[in-house]
A and B are shown apart, each in its own frame.
Chain A
Amino acid sequence: MTTTPRWRALTRHHLFWPVAVLIALLIVNVPFTPDFFSVKMTDGHLYGSLVSIVLFGSPLILVAVGMTLVIATGGIDLSVGAVVAITGALTCSYISDQTDQNALSVVFLAMGVGLVAAVVCGLWNGFLVARMGIQPIIATLIIMVAGRGVAQLITDGQIITIHSEPYKLIGGGYWLTLPFSIFVVAAVVAVTVLLTRRTALGLLVESVGGNAEASRLVGIRSTRIKIMVYVFCALCAGIAGLMISSNTSAADGNNAGLWIELDAILAVVIGGTALTGGRFSIGGTVVGALVIQTLTTTIYTIGVPTQTNLVFKAAVVIVVCLLQSPKFREKVFGARRSRNLTDPAPAEPVLPAAAAPKPPKTSTEVSR
């Protein structure tokens, strides 16, 4: 038998399939880029495809982590892309108005302004969903659509470019040989895990998403919890917005964070959190976001024509989702096992003798 209990336990782990897909995708790159896994040190900075994947994937990881909590409560947040744009627009326009763009105080104040705007967006979403009882997909659609317009208003429809060295650090700088973004992401993920698993927030979020009525009857203040996760999600999107605008030193109200909400939702789903709410996995989401970023990278390295790369992406996503589905796995991989079961000759169930049933006591015995 090839399936030992340990292997089985491993394949049943909720992170197994996302991680397996991630590794497979990474390996696919090797024939096209033989030094794919190598990491070089140049000018005291680490360079390499792996580092780039994490660097470019950072905003997505941030947005997806926030999205995970929203989805766990049974909601969804479509507005994160617009929040990315608003935050970037506000921060950059504030910096560009100052005479000394390199002053630390200016940069901190600018980031504060951007993040406060993000929090306000989150409060609005939370208010509509939790207090007004509007369906999350509709409630967050408002900022998704209107938010881009707001970002355009802030930037006057232009792309604002800035020249601020300190601000450049967040999305494009290096620290301790690694891109600074990676530290920001690590910090946010760590804070999220601590916030959800070291306090009771994770449990209450899962309870609200798993059974809203039961949660109400058990005394959970779900309104507060929901507002909190929408604010948290917007805050994550805000940080991602800082990162994106910092990386390009520009605020583009039109294109910053465009469609990132869909990638984030996908990352959450690939990471094993169900869209119906309930159980969530931050680790799964991080892996899911890395899968999507690796996929984007792979599309470039193996030279998929640009016109078809969305189709290619869709195909891979379908495969990942199918692999995640227990039903599909059973159909494809379980075929051999179920044939064994229906095979008439060795059909005797594997049972210890002691557990074998007594024959039924009736007037006529079952003939064997």
Chain B
Amino acid sequence: MKCSTFMLGPVLLAAVVLGAQAQSPSTIKIISSLPHTGSANAQTMTMVNGIKLAIEEVGGKVGEFSIVYEPWDDASPERGQWDPAVEAANADKAVADPDIMAYIGTYNSGAAKIAMPKLNQAGLLMISPANTWPGLTKPGVGEPNEPMVYRPSGKVTYFRVVPADDIQGLVAAQWAQEMNCNKVFILHDRELYGQGVASMFQKTAKKIGLQVLGYEGIDPKASNYRSLVTKMKQKRPDLVYFGGTTQTNAGQIAKDLRAGGLNVKYMVPDGCFEEAFIRSAGASNLEGNTFITFGGVPGDKLTGKGKEFYENYKKKFGNEPEAYAAYGYECGRVVLDAIARAGKKDRAAIVAACAATKDFDGVLGKWSFDANGDTTVKTMSGNTVHNGKFEFVKVFGE
């Protein structure tokens, strides 16, 4: 896996150079840019599988066009997660290849910030199965210059099929209150995603009257958080909320809470809703007192089209899809649908067709894209960990 990534670079470069001449009018290329070198790999591989499944369902063909799909990696071994330099290179590569009509990605919101303006300038469709930073699409919730800074051409070319974090932070704080946790201590990993969702949590918590005992950005590479746990212990919170991911040490915090003798509830966002989180934290440290919010519902709780997907996935790949696999699949289907409705190999036409997606029969029911490029789906689920596995608790916001 890792070695092939290194080899892939030159090969792809050669392909781009050759592709400029050998452009075939009847082939449309779709690529995905997701982190495969890193702990998110298990999650992102199932997203790639989801995309493959969507393409396979239409027999790899839309109208007269045959669809070619390539999964690209936007992570580097030095960082162990997404790398700004690699993401930028991916975006440039995609723009330069006239066969590429859709860019599925990214996984991390920070990576999206880099790719979005580049792809927007080129008028290339970008659709994310996992970005949740609200500012990417919604005016007035993120930085003052968001989201226009990502749209140099002035047009909306970026879409996402997942609900954003303004909803997730809200739901998480409300859930905390429902569980009678009135005193919360909030931590975040100082990254766009983690800090974003933590600040949404904080805002809602204050609004609904929870007592926020502290709000601190941790060092995601620290060897442990025992000192921080001691500090929190003194304030006796009912719940510790961590805005962060498996890669930014969500597991270590769970361990140090237990080892430091702070037996409180621990809530994390969907960046931790993956097998790797349970693996790195150790199942016994999470048992019964860990709560995870997720935009959508877990695979085995899906209904309708989603249920169909879940069963086909298991049949084809022989394992359980991770939480975001359904969104990879959804992205694939939306892209294929947009290409079909555009009816021609033209980036602008395909973007326009995608923006016009309406009452789409998706894995979470019927939904449309709004003017910002956001899905109208607002379904969130709450999950916990039991016997080393995620366990579905309830659905919010339907």
Co-assembled chains A and B: no
Interface residues, chain A, with chain B CB atoms under 8 Å away: none
